[in-house]
Amino acid sequence: MARFIFITGGVVSSLGKGLLAASLGALLQARGYKARIRKFDPYLNVDPGTMSPYQHGEVYVTDDGAETDLDLGHYERFTGVSARQSDNVTSGRVYSDIIAKERRGDYLGATVQVIPHVTNAIKEFALNDIDDLDFVICEIGGTIGDIESLPFVEALRQLSNDLGRENVVFVHTTLVPYIAAAGELKTKPTQHSVREMTGYGIQPDVLLCRSEHPIPPEERAKIALFCNVPESAVIQALDARSIYDVPLAYHNEGLDREVLRAFGIEDAPEPDLKRWTDIMDRVDNPEGEVTIGVVGKYVSLPDAYKSLREALVHGGFANKVKVNIKWLDAEMFESEDEELAAKLEPMHGILVPGGFGERGSEGKIAAIKFARTRKIPFFGICLGMQMACIEAARNQAGIEDATTTEFGEEGEPIIGLITEWMSEEGLQKRSADGDLGGTMRLGAYDAKLSPNSAVASQYGTTEISERHRHRYEVNKNYIPKLEQGGLIFSGMSPDGLLPEIVERPDHPWFIGVQFHPELKSRPFDPHPLFKGFIAAALEQSRLV
């Protein structure tokens, strides 16, 4: 029977519950256990797919086509276990399912209530699809005391009774702030947070205390006394120099030991942490560095490109170099050529990521032209690939008003809304006036690569599977003109209808992809395209 670890947060948000869950999963794996990590999100959106990146950060996409919280990216990167649709649930999804059942009459005339119907649905989600696991780690979004998270907290309380207290451990994250005027760390926020939690019927077993300063033994003893936990279960969590140092730091503080002890497991094998020490050696001892310019529209919030940032770092690990990322707002390149040259000339590589909407598109196209004409390594992802096709159409293929229907009806649309495509479930159909949520081409799809192409050499194969999240595609009818202009369509869907990859044989490294390769990159297994892109940027740095 799988044991459950529930991770909650108190005092303030952004204490790092996602990294805690990912790190704990990695530490349990290092001891030889099988673990899966899940996320409960209290907001009423069915999923984050329609939320602005400024509201929520990136939307992470799983192989099976779920749009999920960005924390699932941490889970995958740290554990290597591919997330599934069953690993993320929101209040919106829970209520949507319950209301649909009520409309069908599934409740046989009963009054539908938060208890038991909502809490039962949450418990069913937690218990679903957990065969052959030793531990299930569930992170609860939000903060203890939030109104919207109360049904989840109550469901956890019930689960601890249903499963037996010996099969459930609660890890609570809190803040231990330093008050400069007093020159002291203050434990009262932690005490009040735990008191709030015990008022809901849950006693934490382990406390993870975030602090900017080391927590002295006497303060740990005070927290343990007032929060009713052993002193050894008060784990300090200081800021780390890299997120990949967090598993090592938490292990050194005794996190995994205390969690296992709370389960009554005293004879667990010692963890093998070599892969993490090797990664940190690459963080601390790079043999060079490169600078990558990311030209996007959400650059004021780096979390909007969380997986992209990490994939670039992974590419640096593969090449033993430090990757410096310059976040460049595409809009600033839409009018000033001098600004474009001044900002992009120092870059060893230029990346144009995915996005939605017209804002910043002309700046992205200008940056792509700069990369093409100056022979700077270029990587276009999703919308970035589409903008590369528009740039080629306008400047090389003679289609001066080339555009996409995503931006309106004017001009010649070489890119348009995809209305149908084949998936494992069969033919998928969409329309321009349909719902926005969950209607894109989502999840893993296969592609076939041209045998002698640059991407085939990067992958080392001609058959790949990558995750998609988009609703517009390059019009297949324009491929001949674009190829006459210098682009090569080196990757297509297996049926030959949907363009997946473009490249330039006359360029040191110029690749655009319709999918999101950053979602499958891992620190221990960098994605081949990011590995190749950083290698090309390193070569560019030697030429400058």
What positions carry a catalytic annotation?
Answer: 382, 516, 518
Residue 455, domain member (yes or no): no
**In this structure, are 107 and 78 located in the same domain?**
yes
**In this structure, are 256 and 301 located in the same domain?**
no
Burial class (CB in 10 A: 0-12, 13-18, 19+), 324: middle
**In this structure, are 238 and 323 located in the same domain?**
no
Q: What distances in angstroms separate CA 223 from CA 10, 48, 170, one per listed residue?
A: 14, 36, 16
Helix boundaries (H) for 335-488: 337-344, 361-373, 383-395, 454-459, 479-484
**In this structure, are 298 and 162 located in the same domain?**
no
**In this structure, are 376 and 409 located in the same domain?**
yes
Contact 508, 539 (CB under 8 A): yes
Q: Do you find a cis peptide bond into 116, omega within 30 degrees of 0? A: yes
Amino acid (one-letter) located at 167: N
Residue 454, domain member (yes or no): no
**In this structure, are 335 and 238 located in the same domain?**
no
**In this structure, are 12 and 75 located in the same domain?**
yes
**In this structure, are 378 and 234 located in the same domain?**
no
First CA to last CA distance, the chain: 59
Residue 73, domain member (yes or no): yes
What pLDDT is attached to residue 158?
A: 96
**In this structure, are 307 and 215 located in the same domain?**
no
**In this structure, are 255 and 209 located in the same domain?**
yes
Q: What distances in angstroms separate CA 112 from CA 45, 100, 103, one per listed residue?
A: 20, 12, 11
What pLDDT is attached to residue 421?
A: 44
**C-beta atoms surrounding 407 within 10 Å:** 17
Residues 6+ away with beta carbon under 8 Å from 278: none
Q: Where does a domain end: 228, 245, 279?
A: 279
Of all helices (H) and strands (E), which one includes residue 528? helix 528-543
What pLDDT is attached to residue 439?
A: 65
What pLDDT is attached to residue 428?
A: 54
Determine the Cα–Cα distance for residues 334 and 336; give it in Å rounded to an integer. 6
Full domain range(s) for residue 392: 286-415+479-488+497-543
Residue 181, domain member (yes or no): yes
Residue 449, domain member (yes or no): no
**C-beta atoms surrounding 539 within 10 Å:** 15
What CATH number is associated with residue 162?
3.40.50.300
Local structure of 301: helix, strand or coil = coil
Residue 447, domain member (yes or no): no
Burial class (CB in 10 A: 0-12, 13-18, 19+), 434: exposed
Residues of the chain short of pLDDT 70, as ranges, are 336, 419-439, 544
Residues 209-225 have pLDDT tens digits of 999 999 999 999 999 99
Structural domain total, the chain = 2
Q: Where does a domain end: 249, 279, 309?
A: 279
Q: What distances in angstroms separate CA 218 from CA 195, 238, 507, one per listed residue?
A: 20, 17, 63
Query: Per the structure block, which two tokens stand in for 64?
Result: 């099976």
Residue 462, domain member (yes or no): no
Q: What distances in angstroms separate CA 47 from CA 32, 40, 287, 388, 481, one per listed residue?
A: 33, 11, 42, 30, 39
**In this structure, are 270 and 321 located in the same domain?**
no
**In this structure, are 273 and 293 located in the same domain?**
no
Local structure of 287: helix, strand or coil = coil
Determine the Cα–Cα distance for residues 296 and 379; give it in Å rounded to an integer. 12
Q: Where does a domain end: 279, 307, 335?
A: 279
- Name which of 490, 424, 499, 400 is nearest 452 in CA terms: 490
What CATH number is associated with residue 315?
3.40.50.880
Residue 533, domain member (yes or no): yes
Angle at CA of residue 33, ends 27 and 39, nearest 5°: 70
- Name which of 71, 91, 77 is nearest 17 in CA terms: 71
The structure's pTM equals 0.92
